Amino acid sequence: MSRLVERLSERSILSIDVRAAVRGMAEPIARAIGRTGLTPNHLTFIGFGIAIVAALAAAANAWLAAGLLVLFGAVFDLLDGSLARATGRTSRLGAFYDSVFDRAGEGVVYVGVIIGCLAAGFQLGAILATWASVAALLVSYTRAKSEGLGFTPGTGMAKVGLAPREVRTVILVVALIGTWVGGGLDMGSQLIGRDWRFGIAVGPGAEPWLADALSVLAVLATITVIQRILHVRKQAAEDRA
């Protein structure tokens, strides 16, 4: 049983090698951006601004724009840390800004998705987006709280769990662009001619796709929370031994 808990607590979709390769590709781009005069904090705030625009696009049923903006914002999320390391501008304040505004940006995009779903009368989508947003928040909170208590110092907790932020971002982008490919949500039909899942209205076109994608996102984020809790529990047991 203990071996199973250990495997579950440490399994992740992204390997250390993949993360290192992505950081390696981002570094020369970050150095080029640094020569323009932009600072890591500038990139953090720009990324948050892009997330707000993405949320507005999702709320307005502009799913392609929302997906592309989330992807574009993720680039800034990657580059702010790379720029800080490349230019020696790492600081506790910068790390604080990065963490807070990344979480705020992710949350505000989900708010936009929820509003877009509610505007179309797509109740299931709104429920799943709410679940996904809460689970994503808990993924980040478990890391912050565990590190604050001295568990998994540094960036160790970022490697724990199936769906860290990078994975969640990819799934969310696929969900948003896939919704556009499917024709978007029907903003006019409301409940007319809809199918039903678990007593909740689901219409034709993109709605089942969005529901399925958000379900995958919510489930993987929830599993990640459980994995991180198990990881901390394992460390606590080792400390007592």
φ, ψ dihedrals at 189, nearest 5°: -80, -20
3-state helix, strand, coil in the chain (%, to 5): 75, 0, 20
pLDDT given for residue 189 in this prediction: 45
The DSSP letter of residue 135 is: H
For residue 78, the model assigns a pLDDT of 78
Given this model, what pLDDT does residue 172 score?
95
Question: Which pLDDT belongs to residue 155?
Answer: 58
* Residues 6 or more apart in contact with residue 207 via CB below 8 angstroms: 120, 122, 124, 125, 182, 185, 186
Task: Note the pLDDT of residue 153.
Answer: 64
Distance between CA 57 and CA 122 in Å, rounded?
17
Output the pLDDT for position 1.
Answer: 39
pLDDT of residue 108: 97
Task: From 208, 168, 153, select the one nearest 185 (Cα to Cα).
Answer: 208
Which of 173, 185, 175, 181 is CA-nearest to residue 122?
185
pTM for this prediction: 0.82
DSSP state of 153: T
Could you list the pLDDT tens digit for every one of the 241 residues in the chain?
A: 345 444 544 555 555 556 555 566 666 776 777 677 778 888 889 999 999 999 999 999 999 999 999 999 988 787 777 777 777 777 888 888 888 999 999 999 999 999 999 998 888 899 999 999 999 999 999 988 888 888 876 556 777 889 888 899 999 999 999 999 888 786 554 444 445 444 444 455 567 889 999 999 999 999 999 999 998 898 888 777 6
